[in-house]
Amino acid sequence: MHHTALVITGPTATGKTKLAVHLARQFNGEIISADSRQVYRGMDIGTGKDLSEYGDGANRIPCHLLDVVEPQEDFHLKRFLELALAAMDGIRSRGRLPVIAGGTPLYVNALLHGYSLPGGEPNQQLREELQGLSREELIKRLQAIASPELLQRTDLTQDKRIIRAIEIASSPQADSIITKPLDNPLVIAPYFPRKTVRQRIEIRLDERLQEGLVQEVQSLRDHGLSWEKLDWFGLEYRYVAKYLKQELTFDQMRTELLAKIRHFCKSQDIWFRKMEREGIVIHWIPEGNPSEAASLVARWLAHEPLPDPSIRLADISYSGK
């Protein structure tokens, strides 16, 4: 059986890049980033590219789909699939293993399941029209025109996903990219208890602020990126922009941003549970243990039977936070 790809995914701040690089180095792999914001140039700190993780010089692990478009350009799922599939073909032609790494579940899910994407290219005029609407208004507008299938697959916790769904539903013609499901992928994700992830998110946010996150957002602004576009990028870019506009103090910005990233992590959790329910087998590795992950990859590459996952998010219930 052909091994199409190793997939390293999971919530934010769980060490996906580090684990992916470790496994790519051990198993002759090249990495494909599956992150909706790491495609943009000049957005390194806020998107967590962790470029130092890949190594230096001849020892550097190749990584595809980083820094492929300018922040002023549009990038969407259709283009991701085209680039990711082309990168996978190239990696395999070199006799190497594609290692898909990223925490944008929409992208990972589309690669794993295969995808038919109607709606064509982004409609900038429609986006500008929708920009000022509240999430409730956006959802109402989507519900009025969308098919049940489109509604079901839309992440209603993110404005930009709702806007894209409205674009698709409003499109006069279906311009589809149809991809097949990956054949025999291995999906691995670092697992930490939710309390630990919350702590890791806080530590990482403070590290990014110390590394120059505010200066990165200011530089994007200095290079002509609008406040509206910074807001569209969400999370770090939205709240640092509020600080730069003096709408929030530094401490207010940090507090609100921390809460939003933690909330975003919960929405990722919901996606991964949904993927499990829909038949995607995710091997959650406690603390992303590299030797345990490597053992699993070695068995998979040798076509040996794999154990059932010892952890399933769908089996874990949380009370309160």
Give the list of residues 6+ apart from residue 93 with CB closer than 8 angstroms, or none.
Answer: none
| Residues 219, 161 share a domain | no
| Residues 203, 162 share a domain | no
Asked whether residue 151 is assigned to any structural domain, the reply reads yes
In 3D space, the residue among 240, 269, 262 whose CA is nearest the CA of residue 45 turns out to be 240
Asked whether residue 129 is assigned to any structural domain, the reply reads yes
What's the confidence (pLDDT) of residue 139? 94
| Residues 250, 212 share a domain | yes
Asked whether residue 152 is assigned to any structural domain, the reply reads yes
Q: What is the sign of the dihedral through the CA atoms of 39, 44, 46 and 48?
A: positive
Asked whether residue 148 is assigned to any structural domain, the reply reads yes
Give the domain CATH number at 239.
Answer: 1.10.287
Residue ranges in the chain assigned as alpha helix (H): 16-26, 77-93, 105-113, 124-130, 135-145, 148-153, 159-170, 194-211, 213-222, 227-233, 235-244, 250-277, 290-301
Enclosing domain of residue 255: 196-262
Cβ proximity of 170 and 145 under 8 Å? yes
Asked whether residue 313 is assigned to any structural domain, the reply reads no
- Decide which of 242, 262, 282 is a domain's last residue: 262
CA–CA dist 97, 181 (Å, integer): 17
Asked whether residue 136 is assigned to any structural domain, the reply reads yes
Q: Can you list the residues of the chain whose pLDDT is less than 70?
A: 1-3, 117-122, 172-177, 319-321
Q: Using alpha carbons only, what angle is made at residue 112 by residues 108 and 113, rounded to the nearest 5 degrees?
A: 115
What's the confidence (pLDDT) of residue 120? 59
| Residues 215, 251 share a domain | yes
Q: Using alpha carbons only, what angle is made at residue 188 by residues 185 and 190, rounded to the nearest 5 degrees?
A: 165
User: pTM (2 decimals)?
Assistant: 0.82
Cβ proximity of 117 and 177 under 8 Å? yes
What's the confidence (pLDDT) of residue 173? 55
| Residues 202, 169 share a domain | no
SS3 assignment for 44-103: CCCCCCCHHHHCCHHHCCCEECCCCECCCCCCCHHHHHHHHHHHHHHHHHCCCEEEEECC
| Residues 257, 201 share a domain | yes
Radius of gyration of the chain (CA): 20
CB atoms within 10 A of CB 267: 14
CA–CA dist 133, 234 (Å, integer): 16
Per-residue pLDDT tens for 188-220?
999 999 999 999 999 999 999 999 999 999 999
Q: Kindly give the pairing relationship between strand 115-116 and strand 178-179.
A: antiparallel
- Type of residue numbered 221: R
In the chain, how many domains are there?
Answer: 2
Q: Kindly give the pairing relationship between strand 178-179 and strand 6-8.
A: unpaired
What's the confidence (pLDDT) of residue 321? 44
Per DSSP, what are the bridge partners of residue 63? 31
